[in-house]
Amino acid sequence: MADVDARWCASVESAWSDYRDARTAGTDGRVARDALLERWQETVDGEGADQASDDVLRLLRENVRTAWLGPGRVTQIDAAKAVTNGLAVLASSCAARGHAIEGDTGGVPLDADGDVRAGARPSG
């Protein structure tokens, strides 16, 4: 990835952190998910990143939706893994430009029931 600025990185991190905190606190998952997707769309629509970084964020948005609504549990789990990997890519890109972000995904619920979690292995 060519370039990202501190504002863009902070926006990505803040939206994810707020989502993680809301889901951990028991906030309605749909409300938290919609807020995350909206904030990430605003980040993509703004300036501060190269096309590749914006594309990764667009894919993250799609994978969050798929983890929530996927046509089956396997698809949802694959999407959750993609969210984990995508956040790691963006964290690495931001860190390489001196803008370290916390993209911790450990066990964050990505579906309505909390059964599909980012950064967690499926049970069973």
| Within-domain flag for 88 | yes
**How many domains does the chain fold into?**
1
| Within-domain flag for 124 | no
Report residue 3's pLDDT band, with 50, 70 and 90 as the boundaries: low
pTM: 0.86
| Within-domain flag for 46 | yes
Report residue 15's pLDDT band, with 50, 70 and 90 as the boundaries: very high
| Within-domain flag for 123 | no
pLDDT in tens, 68-78: 988 888 999 99
Report residue 5: phi and psi, to 5°: -110, 170
> Which amino acid is it at 77?
I
Domain enclosing residue 89, as ranges: 6-118
d(CA 64, CA 3): 24
Report residue 14's pLDDT band, with 50, 70 and 90 as the boundaries: very high
| Within-domain flag for 1 | no
